[in-house]
Structure 1
């Protein structure tokens, strides 16, 4: 008998860790650089223009930016020790820092000298981010969608005036010239090209629409004599921007606090980008991975402060490119990092970029900044504005931010130090959003989420409730059906909000057949109304305030369904945008068997209970944005 042959199995390599052939690495890496380039170089251009840096210093800022972006991307994608998440995340300077950096610069007189205070704040904020990385996941409870959405919206809106200023700036003199229609046409033309590319093309071409808009705008400006490359010839073919180019950094307390707040915002953004990328590449993200991401962000930001650059975060454009191309290898981003480092040694390339006419740059900037605001508005769409506390947080923060943005001289009336907070709409708006969220949802609150009663009942108090009080508070979640409330009550004590939610889900789905039928029959027929004409079977606006004809259609469906199956039609209408979908769903279920429909009804009831739980329990989903949907899996 022959000896058994041991089969040597090849070690499985996750697509994220796959090292592609060098030609592919170079090609895919260059594609990332192209998608990233316009957004990356806009930041130093905008900052330099606002604080009145000379052209030769702008060239150095651009080369420093590209060089540091390359280092930051390699740190994040390749990683070492507990630094870097080792995912295809390309790093770039965050737009969130633009307005505060300009405010810091202008508060210290503008010009190159003011950058010393900027870099001091950047370094301090980078060290702070590195140090808090292990515990940041616990801080996310202070950054629910009402805060992050407000902050992102404020960032976009406060940056729009910067782009608007460039759009009416004479490219020859650098002075604002709003009466000249020529500059306005350049800006509008650039916007039109960007919109046209987005409308006509799909895929990779759409991701580089801003870059193509800049190229077309520059080509037109060059043809009409409003752009020249004189400075390109004067730039050295090879050069390097040395560390602390403008001198050793200086430290201002308020500037440092402002930049720390910005880094906290970008930390939330980086967390979201990491979760999104993990979904795209099929890799589970753990809490330790979030810590590694933020350590890399912090280290890259410190390096940015040393090498004359700014705070770093993952570029969402490149996250989208990973999804678009399906190329998941982190080594592709590392290759892009190498390309950017090489570009950082080429001042002539930076000089070409610095020659972009202000109106063309302004048109591209307006679209980018408005996009940032739109992302914030999208996040705010997940916020329950029937809760007046959320409404106060958003409106107050926006009002303060836009007040300071519209009338920057407000800062002049403030005491020294405090004036810097009012020197930027982002700073004062961000601080207001964070503090108001703490005041309304955390201040004076003992451990545990707040439920019902205007947010006055803690989880500990829920665990100590009598059966009667528990039924009074939570009965509506399961249509006040006694056995369902009792089954959930018996699962006390609840370790956390998730356990409380699970208790109701288990109650709905694990009752006896007779109990489940009782639960189904406790729901009203669709279209049923009380004596005042208000709909009874409503958990969403899709079935409220219907026209008479539409209401009659719903009643017809409900009547036919009850006659056929003997119990009411239950549909979680919150998942529909219009009652037509409710009708379509209901009629399509008429051909099912009775047992199948009973199962369908229970699933719909479980969905309804889940939504009602979210309505009832404050902070049941503290990070409800889609990109953070798997955060509760972190361990």
Structure 2
């Protein structure tokens, strides 16, 4: 039996020597897990700040959104990695407040307020939970030529986030200053030196150590402000329905249901399937369905604590590929740390003091690694005698449109714009359709061979990715 394969039908049944089940010492697990949280912390806190500001909330209420987001993200990550019954992929997938939903949520809170938004999220999450098993059947539509193309688009799509962080974060007074670029460059240099000069634990912790070193440098040159760490309570428990009872309006529910479907597609492709490819784990339809159940259950429950929809964080896929740490227990430990941050706002304030340029210097490595992982996957695909090259070219071209021309789809209907404005989602849809059109339909040209041959041309055994 191949490593990471299954003898049963349930997620995790009969797994033999699965790479995701690797166990490290307590301190290694904690350190590697904390590294995951630091690499995605900025992405978790951004949606509450943006939506809270659009809703006109006071600083204290936005702080509630931040605390709730960290708590729900931590619990969701632990459910996804450890699994309970049919909930959780049991893969090293980091869950967090999804940035995909920000634009839609901003519109809803501006027009109808927070209770309507939370009501729509609850209903959308429950709908997603019901249809999750259907998404598990799409696995066969994602051979390496499809997943590799999507992974490259994911890496490219994340780059603007890192570049914004490098420049100081959106809205910074010194946005794009040379001092910000220098701080990001120093962080980047530390990560490169640690990766090259050291082996083992130090090399695998290069991102965490690089962020720590960058923060120290920022403090020495006056670029880090730790003055607000002592403000506020030391311990704070998430409130239940902090913004009142949810309200339900059809228009908001329809909007958030579309968003939930997009989150499910990205969690399946950019999270579960991609991580499975990278670590060399078998990912079957039931595993995808179990992962999406955990995703949507967390989304449906999030508003109870004052949090927003949850999805897989693609940037952490790059960290898995970069460090070679494939253990789901490491990511679960990171989830526990994130949940702790939700209980201990003082710790969250310490992490929040990390300057954005430092996060950007690390992010440029992480996100680049995601794209590189996709290129490595595509390197195993056969391009002779078929139309795979056209598939990859079209997918990459469409997928990067939102980054190169953000207003390109401005005239599209709102329901279609939700898909088109997400480069990852549009790339995933196009890649799947073209794969069916080029490689699966039997009436294609004889030069492409039979459907079985086309599938073998694009299939890669998990062992081919084991070294990543």
- TM-score class, shorter: 0.7 to 0.9
**CA positional deviation for 1:271:** 4.4
Q: Distance in 1 between matches of 2:396 and 2:323?
A: 34
Q: Size of the alignment, in residue pairs?
A: 438
Q: 1:618 aligns with which of 442, 445, 454?
A: 454
For residue 160 of structure 1, report the CA deviation from its aligned partner: 0.7
1:81 and 2:79 are equivalent in the alignment:
no
Structure number with the bigger relative contact order (C-alpha 8 A, sep ≥ 6) is: 2
| 1:30 counterpart residue number | 30
Matched, 1:453 2:446: yes
Matched position secondary structure for 2:409: helix
Show the counterpart of 2:3: none
Quick one: which of 388, 391, 395 aligns to 1:390? 388
Aligned twin of 1:264: 265
**Conserved? CA contact 1:32–1:321, under 8 Å:** no
| Residues 1:174 and 1:75: Cα distance change in structure 2 (over 3 Å) | same
The answer to whether the 8 Å contact 1:167/1:358 transfers is yes
Aligned partner of 2:419 in structure 1 is 421
* Structure 2 Cα separation of the partners of residues 93 and 237 of structure 1: 25
Q: Among residues 188, 193, 211, which one is paired with 2:185 in the alignment?
A: 188
- Residues 450 and 126 of structure 1: CA distance in aligned 2, closer, same or farther (over 3 Å): farther
**Relative to 1, partners in 2 of residues 1:235 and 1:622: Cα closer, same or farther, differing over 3 Å?**
farther
Name 1:311's counterpart in structure 2.
310
Q: CA deviation at 1:164?
A: 1.0
C-alpha contact 1:25 1:335 (8 A) present in aligned 2? no
User: Structure 1 pair 64/106, CA: closer, same or farther in 2 (3 Å)?
Assistant: closer
Summarize deviations over 1:487-539 as a string: whole Å, max 9, x none.
Answer: xxxxxxxxxx5xxxxxxxxxxxxxxxxxxxxxxxxxxxxxxxxxxxxxxxxxx
- Give the equivalent residue in structure 2 for 1:224: 221
1:278 to 1:255, Cα distance in 2 relative to 1, 3 A = same
Q: CA deviation at 1:189?
A: 0.9
Question: 1:142 offset after TM fit, Å?
Answer: 1.4
2:390 and 2:102 mapped to 1: Cα distance?
28
Does structure 1 retain, via aligned residues, the 8 Å contact 2:318–2:369?
no
CA drift at 1:222: 1.5
Matched, 1:236 2:244: no
Name structure 2 gaps, 5 residues minimum. 1-15, 19-23
Q: Decide which structure has the larger Cα Rg and report it.
A: 1
Normalising by structure 2, we get a TM-score of 0.75
Cα–Cα, structure 1 residues 413 and 152, in superposed 2: closer, same or farther, change >3 Å? same
Give the 3 Å change call, closer, same or farther, for CA 117–621 of structure 1 in structure 2: farther
Asked whether the equivalents of residues 93 and 310 of structure 1 are also in contact (C-alpha less than 8 Å), the reply is no
Query: Deviation of residue 285 (structure 1)?
Result: 7.8
Distance 1:629 1:392, change over 3 A: same
Structure 2 CA distance for partners of 1:137 and 1:353, relative to 1, 3 Å: same
Change (3 A) 1:169 1:66: closer
Give the direction of change, closer, same or farther, for the CA distance of 1:115–1:430 in structure 2 (3 Å limit). Answer: farther
Within-5 A mapping of 1:227-626: 227-242=224-239, 248=246, 251=252, 253=254, 256-268=257-269, 269-271=271-273, 273=275, 288=286, 291-304=289-302, 306-307=304-305, 308-313=307-312, 316=317, 337-387=335-385, 389-442=387-440, 445=441, 453-455=446-448, 617-620=453-456, 623-624=459-460, 626=462
Distance 1:158 1:262, change over 3 A: same
- Tell me if structure 1 keeps the 8 A contact 2:229–2:349: yes
Aligned counterparts of 2:77 and 2:145: Cα–Cα separation in 1? 30
SS of 2:94's partner is strand
Residue 95 of structure 2 corresponds to 93
